[in-house]
Amino acid sequence: MLDIQKIYEAQKRIEGVVVDTPFSFAPYLSELSGADVYLKKENLQITGAFKIRGAYNKVASLSDKQRACGVVAASAGNHAQGVALSASKFDTRAVIVMPESTPLTKVNGVKHYGAEVILAGSNYDEAYAYAKEYGEQNSMTFVHPFEDEEVIAGQGTVAIEILQKCEDLDAVVVPVGGGGLIAGMASAIKSLNPKVQVIGISAQGAPAFKNSYEEGRALDTTSVRTIADGIAVRDTSEVTLSLALECVDEIITVDDEEIASAILFLLEKQKLVVEGAGSVGVAALLHGKLEHLRGKKIAIVLSGGNMDVTLLSVIIEKGLLKSGRKMKVTVTLVDKPGSLMRFTQILQELNANIVHIAYDRTSISLDYGDANVTVHMETKGEAHQADIRAALKKEGYLRG
């Protein structure tokens, strides 16, 4: 495993720059799961994610000569901001290579910290290849997001902070993508308290690391697809895998539906904005995948909070529909004065709050003189929706 002294050295380097994020008891999650649950809130980190820890430790560990030549990285997310901010602290030139499809908000977020952005390639792998070549041609140090001992040591400081606040934990639950975070944390935990279980959580749509862990050798996948873009890693690092094989007790997967429900839960119940990658531990807990930890004291790492607002709005909307708090109904009315009024009066009597109405009289599926009306409304749960359907069926608006 990684030498614990390297992680302590990293902790000293990052002090005063990286935030010792809150570590707090989560009563509602504990009640739901039957475990004593604590949350390590790296979503409240200075750049919104844990990545600043490894990035800063790497840049800080470089020689003056290396820093004078600058650093380069490939990333479309949290690592990019971590490297950019770290370089700015040392007045070091930073070049971040991002895929051409990277949203403008992410590009601007990196530029905010003073880094130069190069858009190259149609995906991360092409941007990565470009960044490596660019670094070699310009004598710049390439800062890998996870396949680097100094980066891994920096990420391991999360575990040091957790164990300093709570020594008697039974398990720590950690998101897994490229494996840098869990490799660093597991090395620290097993050095300081080997009895603590280290459990990794990966996305079902990015199974490379879990498959490799189970097979005991590095395996790559041809593609990844998950809303947890922070852990959507296609290939497996032999460096982080070897550490995981030595120090990690188990890796579990969650799917996108489970991740989405965890994002919504954290937003509603914990008042925390947590991105998909950061929510996987809570997703596993909420969906019964950590039942063997019932009655135990566990820490869950919320690894980041840089959530795409567009995706968040979709997750909220779908969550409201699934939980019975929103409902969509389409009915066919006779297109004459008073028809719509009668229909909406029924909804009013049932205390359904209409938030949007669409009126269509031109669809080729309609008879002349009819109109389709689609109503979006706020409701009070599944029982309320059942009452609405029953009333509309009784009035002849719904069939079947």
> Residue 189 has which token pair?
């935990």
How far apart CA 62 and CA 49 sit, in angstroms, is 22
How far apart CA 99 and CA 116 sit, in angstroms, is 14
**348 to 23, 353, 390: CA distances (angstroms):** 46, 7, 15
Q: At what angle do helices 382-394 and 339-349 cross, to 10 degrees?
A: 140
Map residue 354 onto helix, strand or coil. Answer: strand
147, 275 Cβ separation under 8 angstroms: no
Among residues 41, 51, 106, 210, the one annotated as catalytic is: 51
> Residue 118 has which token pair?
């190069």
How far apart CA 144 and CA 141 sit, in angstroms, is 9
| Bridge partners, 371 (sequence order) | 333
Among residues 86, 187, 279, 303, the one annotated as catalytic is: 303
Q: Give the count of beta carbons closer than 10 Å to the beta carbon of residue 266.
A: 24
Q: Which residues contact 105 (CB under 8 A, 6 or more apart)?
A: none
51 in active site:
yes
DSSP 284-342: HHHTTTTGGGTTSEEEEEE-B----HHHHHHHHHHHHHHTTSEEEEEEEEESSTTHHHH
> Residue 22 has which token pair?
């809150």
Taken in order 381, 383, 387, 389, is the CA torsion positive or negative?
Answer: positive
339 in active site:
no
In Å, how far from its chain's centre is CA 122? 22
Report helix, strand and coil shares of the chain as percent, to nearest 5: 50, 20, 35
User: Which residues are known to be catalytic?
Assistant: 51, 303
